Structure 1
Amino acid sequence: MTPLPDRYCPVDGIRIPGDSLAWCCPSCHGPLDLDFAPTPAPLKSLTGRVNSLWRYAETLPLSAPRVSLGEGRTPLVALTDEVQAKLDFLTPTLSFKDRGAVMLAELALRAGPRRVVADSSGNAGTAVAAYCARARLPCTVYVPFGTSAKKLEQMEAHGARVELVDGGREAAATAARRAADEPETFYASHVYNPYFLHGTKTYVHELWEDLGGRLPEVLVLPAGNGTLLLGAALAVAELYGAGLLDRRPRLWAVQAAAVAPLAHAFAEDADDLTGTTTVSPTHAEGIAVAHPPRARQILRAVRESGGTFLTVTEDQIRHAQLDLASRGLYVESTGVVCWAAVREGALGGRSAVVPLCGAGLKSGPARD
């Protein structure tokens, strides 16, 4: 079996051996990155490969998967002449989080822990639960009160133990991190573990392949913890660095106006979060993150791409969800924020792709 690459702290450079169960930097307690710089395969060489995200084997830090459920390779459909949607709710657990969760479960299987723990507002937890079931690994998911009952049902159906935490998303994360420090525990964090980002980056590798070796002018991406956005930035850097792209797309990050710490920091030209974040109820529960641990990386990725941040109101979210449903696409509230941000002409004629990240059946329609 190929040795696992080291992880390292992007702040202070401290390195963590690839086979360690450590989940954060021992000095600053921040998230880790992966010492891994792959070279993607040329377009023509992809013909005839397995029809899942594992077709991009050269770009993945793990090989020979044992827990795959056929994730990835989701379709593109046109919404307007300028905008296409990638239907990432058509994955095994009905959200894009499967792309990263399969990497975490595969990694955990190699580590052989006593148990796996995760925290989530819903979709990441259901994905980790499913892939742990596939790997026959015991799994506990910490979720905040108010998490969709349908998502809780899905986690429990996969055999996960669900721990409801009094408080919001941050409280659930704190509880999971406390459990992660116990011996022989693997923390399947979609935020702290860089393997998750190397799974979500396949979203862009698929776009590049399906668009014939190019990318749109703009990638519109949700930004809560930023796992899809940071994965997209990784893929763009890989493709451009290998000479497989002649230009980089701009990254447009979308937050709910009710919880928009990154958008506020971007508007203030700050390198990190600023001040106290105002948190109001939002239909976009999946991106309602007041203190994203990778905030500096998200802000830097958007700026370096020449991109921007957009915010959407609750009315815009509700209307976008109804609009997509009228087009035959039933998407959960969080999963429609990118379409909500650009559907009324914000692109100014630029070509773009928006992700539809989670199925509407997971949480139902947005209501007042």
Structure 2
Amino acid sequence: MRYSLCCTRCGRDYDDDGRRLRCECGGMLDLRFEPSFRPGMTAGRPYDQWRYREALPVGDDVVTMGEGWTPLLPVTFEGRQLLVKQEQLFPTGSYKDRGAAVLMTHLYELGVERVVEDSSGNAGCAVAAYAARVGIACDIYVPLDTSPAKTAQVEAYGATLHLVPGTREDTARAALEAAATYVYASHVYNPWFLQGTKTFAYEVAEQLGWTAPDTLVLPAGNGTLLLGAYLGFTELTRAGIVSHMPRIIAVQTAACAPLAGAFAEGLDEPIEIHASRTVAEGIAIATPARGSQVLAAVRATDGSFVVVSEQEIVASLRDCCRGGWFIEPTSAAVIAGARRYAHTAAPGETIVTAFTGHGLKAAAKIAELVESL
């Protein structure tokens, strides 16, 4: 298996020892890797994300809890049908398991003994769980106001929890300082995480009979699902497995929209903002490290951004819960964006979105919102 780390800015290649975070020029690192996957290879394989193993840059001794192959179900809002990937059904309750499984497999192959990670909650839960599976010690840094259900989950897996006062960016800085000593298992910086989230695209394509949808509506906090989906459909299109790249619609909240603002102004980097509080904590990222890549992916697919209000998020949470779907508020923000987009979509347009996290992740927060539900 041949791969290397490559800088997204200057193109320089690096070998990987699990410790390099960025290029010497300051650019983010991606993986230079050519999949050899073809659809016929899935015959007889389990229905999980490892059925696409030739598209994943790791060996056969994988760290797994059977993650992947979440249902793709039609859900109707206001007379318009969306296809919703049920990513809340993963072992730790969010799509972040896709990336954590591949990332921790790679770090286990390297013989890493201790990792650090920062998160608004879900990525920390996923990394902690998959680290526990292979006995890798783990330190998770989260903002002080992170959902108690998520912090309890992190500690239950045996990880050392660090609650950081201040902003989400303060949490990232604290983890970066710790990464000077231990390996940084970052869902943002480490490109192996995106190699895991790209399986979202492979599953959607296979579930649609090896075709691509017209449009994907996905969250844009740090953009790990959006960038993974873009990477996956890029590979599938290049290989001739699907005929076209879906349009990508990125969702941000009005309380924290540095990418939507940059997109509207025609800029290539996130704008500086003063974020305010939002119930959608999972996408409240004021300075996304891969923000320029998210902007480039949306533009490359002739996509756009949708910015949703707190009222729209709560309304979507209410409607999903009343329909039997118990999802966290961050996931409701994505659905609010998908509903907004669907109002202007072409008749017959196939729109795929996702329930990104389970409601049990934020049960206390949802309880606070009961009166408005």
Matched, 1:224 2:229: no
1:19: Cα distance to partner?
A: 2.9
Task: Show the 5 A alignment for 1:140-289.
Answer: 140-182=139-181, 185-274=182-271, 276-289=272-285
Task: Show the 5 A alignment for 1:66-85.
Answer: 66-80=62-76, 82-85=81-84
Distance across 2 between alignment mates of 1:277 and 1:40? 42
Task: Check the 8 A contact 1:74/1:91 in 2, yes or no.
Answer: yes
Match of 1:360 in 2: 359
Percentage identity across paired residues of the two chains? 45
SS state of the match for residue 66, structure 1?
coil
SS state of the match for residue 19, structure 2?
coil
**RMSD (Å) for aligned C-alpha atoms:** 1.5
In the alignment, residue 131 of structure 1 is paired with which amino acid? Y
Match of 2:21 in 1: 23
1:20: Cα distance to partner?
A: 4.5
Task: Check the 8 A contact 2:115/2:139 in 1, yes or no.
Answer: yes
CA-to-aligned-CA distance 1:117-175 (integer Å, 9 cap, x gap): 00001000000000000010000001111001000000000000001111111011101
CA-to-aligned-CA distance 1:175-218 (integer Å, 9 cap, x gap): 11111112xx2111000000000100101100100110112110
Match of 2:316 in 1: 320
Distance across 2 between alignment mates of 1:167 and 1:53? 36
User: Structure 1 stretches of 5 or more lacking a match?
Assistant: none
Task: Check the 8 A contact 1:249/1:305 in 2, yes or no.
Answer: yes
User: Aligned residues, how many?
Assistant: 361
Matched, 1:341 2:340: no
Match of 1:108 in 2: 107
Distance across 2 between alignment mates of 1:355 and 1:39? 27
SS state of the match for residue 363, structure 1?
helix
Distance across 2 between alignment mates of 1:199 and 1:33? 13
Task: Check the 8 A contact 1:39/1:238 in 2, yes or no.
Answer: no
1:45: Cα distance to partner?
A: 3.4
Distance across 2 between alignment mates of 1:40 and 1:150? 38
Distance across 2 between alignment mates of 1:128 and 1:168? 21
| TM-score of the two chains, using structure 1 as the length reference | 0.95
Distance across 2 between alignment mates of 1:346 and 1:312? 15
Task: Check the 8 A contact 1:218/1:250 in 2, yes or no.
Answer: yes
Matched, 1:56 2:55: no
In the alignment, residue 50 of structure 2 is paired with which amino acid? W
Distance across 2 between alignment mates of 1:98 and 1:130? 9
User: Structure 2 stretches of 5 or more lacking a match?
Assistant: none
Task: Check the 8 A contact 1:31/1:191 in 2, yes or no.
Answer: no
| TM-score of the two chains, using structure 2 as the length reference | 0.93
SS state of the match for residue 309, structure 1?
strand
